[in-house]
Amino acid sequence: MTSALFPTYARADLAFERGEGAWLFAANGDRYLDFGGGVAVNSLGHAHPRLVATLRAAIEKPWHVSNLFQIPQAERLARRLVDATFADRVFFSNSGAEAVECAIKTARKFHAANGAPERFRLITFEGAFHGRTLATLAAGGNQKYIDGFGPKVDGFDQAPFGDLDAVEALIGPNTAGVLLEPIQGEGGVRAFPHGFLRAVRELCDRHGLLLVLDEVQTGVGRTGSFLAIEQSGVSPDIAALAKGLGGGFPIGACLATEEAAKGMTLGAHGSTFGGNPLATSVGAAVLDVVLAPGFLERVARLGSVLRQSLAQIEDQHPSIIESIRGEGLMFGIKTRVANTEFAAAALKEKLLTIPAGDNVVRLLPPLIIDEQEIAEAARRLGDACARLRANGAAQ
């Protein structure tokens, strides 16, 4: 039977019935090692006892109350995010794109509140991905996603990836800020050159611009620090979170300093579902785990273990793997075969991975992964490479 869904996704003919930690089980009992994590969403794996207990308890209470009333769960989660980051204020949404939209609006409104509404343009980078709403598509600048959807939303100027001179050249009287992913996710796990983020911060300071981060994929511990930007010692003005924040429950958040949020006054923004008790309860439980002493250090350490395993596989299969990149538990394998072919070979070994741009295959395991599971994933990746070589995919 044909599907009643929009045919907008290329879906594998595979459904999962049960999940436990880093593992997913198909209806026929086959067991898959999940190094895709629902695209960096299942930060604590599947059926994490703490998240299950939290959601169970939340389900017995009101699922939804409007933002016309106090929502203590949202207050608590916002307070924790503020305590853990650069931010003073938080706005909750339901998705990454909405969190980035709020970040864009917050940046524009900041300048409007300062009496400079003409400063609304954001500088973004080639290869970026910021979501699929009309504005975030324009910010990402991927023509393939923009074509056919009418006039592109105005207000975004794109610089070549990592090109500081280009950023400086794009700064004009209408510029509000710079919007970037500290490590591009969909773009292929691409990190900016060393010192680049600091240099962008300095440019922003010199020109009165806001540094706006899209940490929808890199945030909430994915790279071994709570926000990826912390590793460059740079403090942003605004940052968007989502994916890993709910561990599988839809939630997004826009974080801002008091100063950057100054335009977001009464009535300036809103969301019906954003910050509801279910989502914010689960978000707080995710933070209980991720911010527990030693957790992020463990992510960083396991990241090094995974990196070493991947380097070995790269050495053994140079005809299949071109390079390894990434930070914490966010890795990209740049392949010499088509990345989709590589992901298909990994799937045959019952290892889930996620293709990305730049012919990269992403590994985004749950942050609760252990060394045995990393070793198992490495074995399966090695087998996938051997399978591809046997198929004569590359010589």
Applying CB under 6 A, the residues found at the interface with ligand PLP are 95-97, 100, 129-131, 181, 185-186, 214, 216-217, 242-243
User: For residues 323 and 76, is the Cβ–Cβ distance under 8 A?
Assistant: no
Q: Is 348 a catalytic residue?
A: no
Minimum distance from CB of 274 to ligand PLP (Å)?
13
Minimum distance from CB of 242 to ligand PLP (Å)?
5
For ligand PLP, which is the closer residue by CB, 96 or 221?
A: 96
For ligand PLP, which is the closer residue by CB, 211 or 393?
A: 211
User: For residues 215 and 227, is the Cβ–Cβ distance under 8 A?
Assistant: yes
For ligand PLP, which is the closer residue by CB, 179 or 343?
A: 179
Minimum distance from CB of 206 to ligand PLP (Å)?
26
Q: How many Å apart are CA 278 and CA 275, to the nearest integer?
A: 8
Catalytic residue among 91, 92, 129, 192: 129
Rounded to the nearest 5 percent, the helix, strand and coil shares of the chain are: 40, 20, 40
For ligand PLP, which is the closer residue by CB, 189 or 299?
A: 189
Minimum distance from CB of 393 to ligand PLP (Å)?
28
Catalytic residue among 92, 192, 196, 243: 243
Minimum distance from CB of 95 to ligand PLP (Å)?
4
Nearest-CB residue to ligand PLP? 96
Catalytic residue among 35, 214, 331, 334: 214
Q: Is 243 a catalytic residue?
A: yes
200: nearest Cα among 181, 232, 178:
178
For ligand PLP, which is the closer residue by CB, 216 or 345?
A: 216
Q: Two tokens at 70?
A: 């106090």
Q: How many Å apart are CA 227 and CA 239, to the nearest integer?
A: 9
Q: How many Å apart are CA 272 and CA 253, to the nearest integer?
A: 14
Element (H, E) at 315: helix 295-316
Q: Is 88 a catalytic residue?
A: no
By annotation, the residues acting in catalysis are: 129, 214, 243
